Amino acid sequence: MRLNPLTSLALAGATAVITTAAASWPLSLAVAAAALALAVRGGIARRLLPAAAAVLVPLCLSLLIMHGLFFPEGWTVLVQWGPARITVEGLAFALERAAQIAAAVLALLVFSFSVHVPDLVAALSARGVQGRFAFVLASTLTLLPAVTSRVHRIRQAQESRGLVIRPGLLHRATAFRLQAVPLVLSLIEEAGTRAAALEARGFSNTGPRTSYRAVPDSRLQRTLRAVLVLAATAAVAARLWLGRAGT
Amino acid sequence: MAEAHNSEGIQDHGDAQDPAQPILSAGIRTFTFPDDGVPVLRGIDLAFLPGTLTVVLGPSGSGKSTLGRLLAGWLPPGGGGTLHGFLELAGTRLHFGGADHPPGPRINPSAWGRQVGFVPQDPASVLSTVKATVAEELAFGLENAAVGRAAMTAAVEQTAALVGLTELLEHNPVQLSGGQLRRLAIGCAVIAGPRILIMDEPFASLDSAGSARLAGLVRKLVKRGTAVVIFSQVVDAPLLEAGTWLVLAEGSIRAGGTPAELLARPGMLPAGIRYPSGPSGPGQDEAPPTAPLKPHVQPRRQATPAAPALELRELSFSYGAGDRTPRRRIRRRGAAHEPQGTPPPEVLKGISLAVHAGEIVAVTGPNGAGKSTLLRHLNGLLRPTSGQILVGGVEIAGTPAGVVAQRVGLLFQQPRDQLFERTALREVHFGLDQLYSSTEAGERASTALETVGLAGSAHGHPVELPASSQRLLALATVLARNPSVLALDEPTVALDGNGLARLDAAVGAAAEEGAAVVLVTHDLTYARRMAHRVVTLEGGQLLP
């Protein structure tokens, strides 16, 4: 079944919220594992893992440093250097938080890497989200590929005139210096022309608009979305209530 | 939207319109670009009646594109430039300039665009860039006008049939070839049923099937009451059917009349206008302005019997297999539409070709046949899935494109893809210092600019040059490197008569000096005139 992008958004969002609210490390680990399994099955693991690492590694390291070393409630001391001490409780707390964040981040990343952008834009505009907003969202998500292909074209033009790019990150970075100015100039120049075309095609009309792309939806998916939103709200409410009852 | 699509997919405009009342008229005393002292347009009075075809002919740099964009609302007076005069659309006249209207009225591009369809010279600039398929791109304007899905689907199908895109509806627009992209731009302009359609060089880069289809579409639109205006520097055969020809030179209308009247009086059309290269053209009996320049020297097959200057051996290629980058680009933007698991179709299938020094070989074929893909293999920008490419008897596999470029010069299909520097001189100079001493590099750059007639624009910005000059500048960057193999992708597109003569002379001279020339063109007549040998690329294979 092809999911409506709003359904997958609701799934990812609710998962992230509920996992955070539940704050239970077995659940967090299960969710993170499930997200990774989905990514592997969907063939997006290769792109997802570097992005996840970029977000999670610094976050988890700072959690470990903060809570692992300076956890006031910790009393089972493993090692101690002056005021800094590693406690079992601190480590457990840091790991629990790390698992929680990893689960939420992975769930949202799986969504953003697997969502089909045109479907999302169509689903949003069908729900009355302003065309401009939907366009900005779509442009943001397609900006990187567009810039990449533009750099590629400029580089091809330069290679055709004798620019030799040796393999390796350093060489590429040096060569990019030559492409940066043409890239920026051409993007600005193109933006001007593109704006005229978009305006003439009625893009800034304020009235209602329709969508050519039919986004799959069903009663089941609509119900599921409602249930997910309710569940997430309930989880947050329960957490707040329990928190208050506990103190 | 109250207007209904009829069975042929073109909207009727109803009975409200008066055939004697122009849909669009303009009185341009002057139009000046910001920061530019001299007006680019002056003394132009135009009126376009329903159900007529008007052709504005003018050489490159005459102001055609500026006039077209001004009429289409793409260059709104105010921000885009200063207009003294008026524009009148469907009975509403807007006066611009003059002391009594200090700020001047503003054109609402969206309201203007509902009545005026426009196909710019660069078809890629029409694309919204966020649509994943040709069908959605066609529907973009209708979505913004809140047309219902059933009507939209019907309109998309009918428009696709009209412009010849039915097979490509589910393709990603970024994958289209140059000619296919132009068809898409035309489709986007006509789908909403504008009352006037303005097209800037619409026949450029269309193959013969595409041209015939566009000519048919224009006839249909005119019959239904649309005013069609075509700006051109080439007298393509379909333009002979126009009711009125206007001659634009140096920013003003120099002459007007029926095609027969203007063709009968010699000297009425400026030298820069190209005559039809098709067999039915009127210029056929007279000496064409650009005489065949096929070098009289025969290719030096005997002199170098062992090694052709360029040789392709059993070359095969498919996107997504041999080359990393095209595959990535396509995958990212259109992933969901590609069937999983099926191997990508082969664009080139076992192509063998030998080109000797001094020989000119033309490769022709329909839009989307893979001509540009083939050419990009010659200097190593694309690498074959299988097969070999030999330049001067040496295989180029493993040699970086930048090194192959010392011997192979490639003229890109879109000059704008080839130009990236700030001035024309810097553009030609790029990379020359690797081959020559700095004095010689400077001399070569200046000579190359002179060869293509752009010495006067050496310090101009490439983007601001007219399309024909951009093409010539790109050619100069190739010629300056004195390559032994010259690969030209659609070199004639966007060139006016003067530019074509420069191209012919340059290609002829290069071949006489011993360069092997491979030129790709959709224009069979040009291919026959220029080349020693014409081969056709169709279905991924070369046919003699």
Q: Which stretches in chain A have pLDDT values below 70?
A: 1, 128-132, 141-142, 245-247
Interface probe for A, chosen from B110, B181, B190, B481 (most Cβ of A below 10 Å), is B110
What's the Cα-to-Cα distance from B43 to each of A104, B99, B194, rounded to whole Å?
Answer: 66, 19, 27
Q: What is the pLDDT of residue A138?
A: 72
Among residues B481, B489, B513, the alpha carbon closest in space to that of B299 is found at B513
d(CA B446, CA B440): 10
What are the residues facing B520 on neighbouring strands?
Answer: B363, B489
Residue B286 has pLDDT above 60, yes or no: no
User: Stretch B186-210: mean pLDDT, rounded?
Assistant: 90
User: Stretch B327-352: mean pLDDT, rounded?
Assistant: 57
Q: Which of residues 29-68 of B touch A (CB under 8 A)?
A: none
Residue B277 has pLDDT above 80, yes or no: no
Task: Categorize the per-residue pLDDT at B282 as very low, low, confident or very high, splitting at 50, 70 and 90.
Answer: very low
pLDDT digits (tens, 9 = 90+) for A1-49: 578 888 999 999 999 999 999 888 899 999 999 999 999 998 888 888 8
**Domain B310-318+345-543 indexed as CATH 3.40.50.300:** yes
Q: What is the pLDDT of residue B281?
A: 36
Q: Could you tell me the residue ranges of all domains in chain A? A: 1-115, 116-203+211-220
CA distance A54 to chain B (A): 21
pLDDT digits (tens, 9 = 90+) for B385-416: 999 999 998 999 888 888 999 899 999 988 88
Largest Cα span, chain B: 78
pLDDT digits (tens, 9 = 90+) for B9-68: 444 454 455 667 899 999 999 999 887 788 999 999 999 999 999 999 998 889 999 999
d(CA B309, CA B304): 9
Chain B residues closer than 8 Å to A185 by CB: 422, 463
d(CA B503, CA B492): 8
**Percent helix, strand and coil across chain B, each to the nearest 5:** 35, 20, 45
A42's tokens: 């969907």
Q: What is the pLDDT of residue B199?
A: 96
End-to-end CA distance of chain B: 52
d(CA B462, CA B469): 9
Q: Could you tell me the residue ranges of all domains in chain B? A: 24-97+106-264, 310-318+345-543
Q: What is the pLDDT of residue B100?
A: 53
Q: What is the pLDDT of residue B5?
A: 46
Axis-axis angle for helices A88-114, A45-63 (nearest 10)? 150
Q: Which of residues 412-441 of B touch A (CB under 8 A)?
A: 412, 417-422, 430-431, 434-435
Model confidence, pTM: 0.77
**Domain B24-97+106-264 indexed as CATH 3.40.50.2300:** no
d(CA A177, CA A174): 6
| Residue B511 neighbours by CB under 8 Å, 6+ apart | B295, B297, B358, B359, B360, B486, B517
Query: What DSSP element (H or E) covers B501?
Result: helix B497-512
Q: DSSP label at B274?
A: B
Size (chain B), residues: 544
Q: What is the pLDDT of residue B17?
A: 57
CB atoms within 10 A of CB B512: 13
| Residue B184 neighbours by CB under 8 Å, 6+ apart | B123, B126, B127, B134, B137, B138, B163, B165, B173, B176
d(CA B104, CA B57): 30
Q: What integer best gives the mean pLDDT of chain B? A: 84
Question: Number of residue pairs across A and B with CB atoms under 8 Å?
Answer: 167
User: Stretch B420-448: mean pLDDT, rounded?
Assistant: 90
Query: What DSSP element (H or E) covers B520?
Result: strand B516-520
